Amino acid sequence: MKLLSGDVLPVVYVGINMIKVIVLISYLIAMSLCDIKDREVPVVVLVLFSINGVLNMIPKALGQGIYPDILLIIPGILLVILAKCGGRNIGMADGIVIAGIGASLSIREYAVFALALVMLTFAIAAVYICKGKKGGERIAYIPVIGIAYIVSAVYSLASSMF
């Protein structure tokens, strides 16, 4: 079958992946703007983002199964539980977004995302410490999650081209 030969398949994969990336980045930009402006994210947007994450799991389930990838939503679920138990210091939306991203990524993509997220969080903490900020201040964390996702998406798309 010439259509699915070695030259066309990577292009199709990158095209489908690019659509997923554009949709996720669009959601993350919308949620980031709400998080910065209002310090909360509308429930409707979170529900749509979660549905998008579940829909992104369907091709993985049909291909190789989702057992290893289903584990990637656990950090987000744990963050939601921690937010529920710990008061308002951690936003539940942050956990829902991390779970939705986990549902959308492969293990390799999630590893890059998690590493970028930890490094960005460390950099923000260092800036806050150097500026002498108090520990009780809240920051909009969804933009940080969005930047980490963009880093992982660029890495993933670049590595799939070569």
Owner of token pair 């979660």: 50
pLDDT higher at 119 or 58: 119
Establish if 98 belongs to a structural domain: yes
pLDDT given for residue 3 in this prediction? 46
Distance CA 15, CA 145 (A): 23
Establish if 155 belongs to a structural domain: yes
Establish if 1 belongs to a structural domain: no
Instruction: Count structural domains, the chain.
Output: 1
pLDDT given for residue 151 in this prediction? 92
Q: Quick one: which of 59, 35, 53 has its CA closest to 140?
A: 35
Distance CA 104, CA 124 (A): 26
pLDDT given for residue 147 in this prediction? 94
User: What are the pLDDT digits (tens) for 95-137?
Assistant: 899 998 988 888 888 999 999 999 999 998 888 888 887 766 7
Establish if 3 belongs to a structural domain: no
pLDDT given for residue 111 in this prediction? 92
Establish if 2 belongs to a structural domain: no
Establish if 77 belongs to a structural domain: yes
Containing structural domain, residue 97: 8-161
pLDDT given for residue 2 in this prediction? 46
pLDDT higher at 43 or 17: 43
User: What are the pLDDT digits (tens) for 4-33?
Assistant: 444 544 555 556 677 888 888 999 999 999
Q: Quick one: which of 78, 94, 90 has its CA closest to 32?
A: 94
Establish if 37 belongs to a structural domain: yes
In single-letter form, the type of residue at position 10 comes to: P
User: What are the pLDDT digits (tens) for 66-99?
Assistant: 667 778 888 988 988 988 887 666 778 888 999 9
SS3 content of the chain, % helix, strand, coil (to 5): 80, 0, 20
